Amino acid sequence: MNKKFLITGGAGFIGSAVIRHIINNTSHSVVNVDNLTYAGNLDSLASVENESRYEFEKVDICNSLDIEHVLSKHKPDVIMHLAAESHVDRSIDGPSKFIETNIFGTYVLLEQSKEYWLSLDDKKKNNFKFHHVSTDEVYGDLGQKDSLFTEETPYAPSSPYSASKASSDHLVRAWHRTFNLPTLITNCSNNYGPYQFPEKLIPLMILNAIKGKSLPVYGNGKQVRDWLYVDDHAKALLLVALKGEIGSTYNIGGNNQIQNIEVVKTLCSILDDLVPSKIDGISKYDQLIMNVEDRAGHDTRYAIDSSKILNELGWVPQETFQTGIKKTVSWYLENYNKTQSL
């Protein structure tokens, strides 16, 4: 049965990948709700913007009346909540926007979703789902030991960003437990791929290298992250939204634990092959790497155990880091002029 998805943050990096996947590979329809803040980019949806199954609403999730209107107008079967402030560095410099959007915005969306859900007839009510998309950063720092984050790992967020996402996760669980709102939560590892805003590590390094700018790496660069190609994540999110067990949490990881410094060196090596002409003074792109003072409260390691989503829903990532990173670098090179507006 075809469903109507209302996706908050649909003009963002992950949200737009989900929308492209749904429109291009299914017969479901999508309403994109996005306030188009600095990281929102409708160009990422140019390939689907004229499709009859796609609609866009410029709305702030903190505006209760606007959310109520959008729900009443479009009557979605599934709400997938991705709208969030997401950059750790920005959360350290100015936490207030993260508290407002990630916590209060989620509260507004939950309240309006609950009222909308209660107004539905029994059939539609029984098929409704609220899917909250979150991060593995809520679990805190694994350290360098061999353990992995599971769905039972206690929360121990380190940054204002991860604390705000942990708060929103708790709100979603509370609305399920207290009001029986049919919710799902997913926690993902570090995403990468086309259309990512270039404040994040991989696009920043690619674009800086091409321009001959320094490649700043925090501390010794040995922080470990699990890298997940965004299109793999989009497929997992749709699968959870359609087939996940109500009230459950699913961890989504790429099974690619790599140190930040190795990510940057890999990018440099690929660029050496694809863009051999460099600025004067360097023969290899890794000569641009510059270690800078470490970020306050920087977690040393994240790594996800994705066995639950594999065992229950059959999802595995299709891209290795090697295949995904080559696709990503190629996309940024092919779309270099487009990325200058990001």
Nearest to 179 by CA among 125, 105, 104: 125
221 within 8 A of 295, measured Cβ to Cβ: no
Does the annotation mark 111 as catalytic? no
3-state secondary structure of 313: helix
What residues are paired with 229 via a beta bridge? 192
Note whether residue 160 is domain-resident.
yes
Note whether residue 243 is domain-resident.
yes
pLDDT in tens, the chain (342 residues): 899 999 999 999 999 999 999 999 999 999 999 999 988 999 999 999 999 999 999 999 999 999 999 999 999 999 999 999 977 878 888 899 999 999 999 999 999 999 999 999 999 999 999 999 999 999 999 876 768 999 999 999 999 999 999 999 999 999 999 999 999 999 999 999 999 998 889 999 999 999 999 999 999 999 999 999 999 999 999 999 999 999 999 999 999 999 999 999 999 999 999 988 877 778 899 999 999 998 787 878 999 999 999 999 999 999 999 999 999 999 999 998 666 655
3-state secondary structure of 269: helix
Note whether residue 162 is domain-resident.
yes
Note whether residue 270 is domain-resident.
no
**DSSP string spanning 104-165?**
IHHHHHHHHHHHHHHTS-HHHHHH-EEEEEEEGGGG---TTSS--B-TTPPP---SHHHHHH
Catalytic residue among 54, 116, 161, 302: 161
Note whether residue 279 is domain-resident.
no
Provide the residue range defining the domain that includes 116.
Answer: 4-197+228-255+302-320
**DSSP string spanning 221-268?**
S--EEEEEEHHHHHHHHHHHHHHPPTT-EEEE--S-EEEHHHHHHHHH
Tokens linked to 133: 């998309």
Dihedral pair phi/psi, residue 267, rounded to 5°: -60, -45
Dihedral pair phi/psi, residue 94, rounded to 5°: -155, 90
Domain count, the chain: 1
H and E: helices and strands count for the chain: 13, 12
Does the annotation mark 141 as catalytic? no
Rg over alpha carbons for the chain, rounded to the nearest Å, is 20
Catalytic residue among 137, 226, 286, 299: 137
Note whether residue 214 is domain-resident.
no
Note whether residue 342 is domain-resident.
no
Catalytic residue among 85, 136, 169, 232: 136
Element (H, E) at 335: none
3-state secondary structure of 274: helix
> What's the CATH number where 190 sits?
3.40.50.720
Q: Which residues, 6+ apart, have CB-to-CB distance to 20 below 8 Å?
A: 44, 45, 47, 48, 234
Q: Is 213 exposed, middle or buried (0-12, 13-18, 19+ CB in 10 A)?
A: middle
What residues are paired with 228 via a beta bridge? 191
Rounded to whole angstroms, the Cα distance separating 229 from 183 reads 25
Does the annotation mark 34 as catalytic? no
Note whether residue 203 is domain-resident.
no
